[in-house]
Chains A and B, each alone.
Chain A
Amino acid sequence: MIIAQQKPLKDIAALISECNKVMLVGCAGCVTVCLAGGEKETEIMASSLRMMREVEGKPLQTITYTATRQCDPEYIPPMDEMVKDVDAVISLACGVGVQYMAERYTDKWVIPALDTKFIGGSTVHGEWVEKCGLCGECILHKTGGICPIIRCSKSILNGPCGGSQYGKCEISKDVDCAWQLIYDKMKALGKLDKLMEIQPPKDWSKSRDGGPRKAVREDVMIG
């Protein structure tokens, strides 16, 4: 899922300092799971902003709403009425959700409340780690299910590098060497011979090359 984190409250408050009424829009997708922008976080942020403004003697009115998914245009129109009389929209979705909001509400200033960080998952409750580099061509079958693109600090395909020490990456003793993990896993699978195959340089044209990427499935298109 997409992992995002809230921007400092004072930064968001500064952005809306001129507004009298704002709408805070959460998302029930990834950002609910990573506890950054779900219904609960949306209400907490609204309440905090209202109190902050009350203390400053400039009361703020808020409306809150949590969309099923802000990254899906079909869930945006239900907000049409609510958004009408607000001075700004604060979106607690990932960058995709913020853009869909801004696209539909052309005359509204849409403010991102989160910083969209990475694609990952949780290790324990309250901790998330990056797991996928979105490179556009998955090679996890070659690497024991461990992504060297994002989990190896150098994204090398024929690791490890000389900096791998006692299973840790040279950048920090707290970061596992992805290639050590890959080696251990492939060994356990009895597939070390696969690691002996030299990987050619990665074809980055499938990644962030040539502008924004697009995925099309004509067979499911309607109309």
Chain B
Amino acid sequence: MRLQYSTNIRIVEMTCTGNVDHRVLLNAFEEGADGVYVAGCMEGDCHFLKGNIRARKRVNAVKKVLDEIGIGGERLEMYNLSSAQGARFAQIANEMAAKIKELGPSPLNKARSGNGCCGCSKEGETK
């Protein structure tokens, strides 16, 4: 399956979403990410049993922080999908990229004028 998905997404691999700490998420935004989504296994399918359930709680907590600091909690999302769902992966990537495009760049995105050093615009980070 050779599926196309939005090219402005940077994938950050982690052993399990249970390893996604509040700081990892905040750090991505502080570094200028316009949006971040955490892609975990289906609920009930986490190799570490509850990693994804806990990750969702942390994502919700960080969303509140983002709202409070004026970045907007809607720039952070959590999705659950299995590694066999390639099409769903591409769909989520595109969905999130479209949503972020609509929201516009994060106020912390240094290249938000659109003419960053190399024309790059980091738009998403995933697990």
Contact = CB atoms under 8 A, between A and B. Distances in A.
Chains A and B come from one and the same complex:
yes
Interface of A: 9-10, 40, 43-44, 47-48, 50-52, 54-56
A47 B70 contact: no
Contacts of B78: none
25 contacts: A9-B65, A9-B69, A10-B68, A40-B22, A40-B23, A44-B22, A44-B26, A44-B65, A47-B23, A47-B26, A47-B27, A47-B30, A48-B26, A48-B68, A50-B30, A51-B29, A51-B69, A51-B71, A51-B108, A52-B68, A52-B70, A54-B30, A54-B108, A55-B69, A55-B71
Contact of A55 (B21, B23, B107): B107
Nearest to B108: A54
A114 to B, nearest CB: 17
Interface string B52-85: 0000000000000100111100000000000000
A48 B21 contact: no
For this complex, into which size category does the number of interface residues on chain B fall?
10 to 19
Question: Which of A9, A40, A51 has the largest count of B CB atoms less than 10 A from its CB?
Answer: A51
B31 to A, nearest CB: 10
Chain A facing B: main interface SS: helix
Contact of B70 (A44, A50, A56): A56
Nearest to A47: B26
Contacts of B65: 9, 44, 48
Query: Would you list the 4 A-B pairs with minimal beta carbon distance, nearest first?
Result: A52-B69, A55-B70, A47-B26, A55-B107
Nearest to B65: A48
Contacts, number: 39
A167 B29 CA distance: 49
A94 B98 CA distance: 45
Contacts of B108: 51, 54-55
A48 B26 CA distance: 8
A56 B22 CA distance: 22
Contacts of B26: 44, 47-48, 51
A51 B30 contact: yes
Nearest to A45: B65
Contacts of A47: 23, 26-27, 30
Nearest to B70: A55
A55 B22 CA distance: 19
B116 to A, nearest CB: 17
B19 to A, nearest CB: 14
Contacts of B70: 52, 55-56
Contacts of A50: 30
Contacts of B23: 40, 43-44, 47
A48 B30 CA distance: 9
Nearest to A56: B70
Interface in B16-52: 21-23, 26-27, 29-30
Nearest to A54: B108
A50 B23 CA distance: 13
A159 B72 CA distance: 52
B21 to A, nearest CB: 7
A9 B30 CA distance: 17
Interface in B65-115: 65, 68-71, 107-108
Contacts of A55: 69-71, 107-108
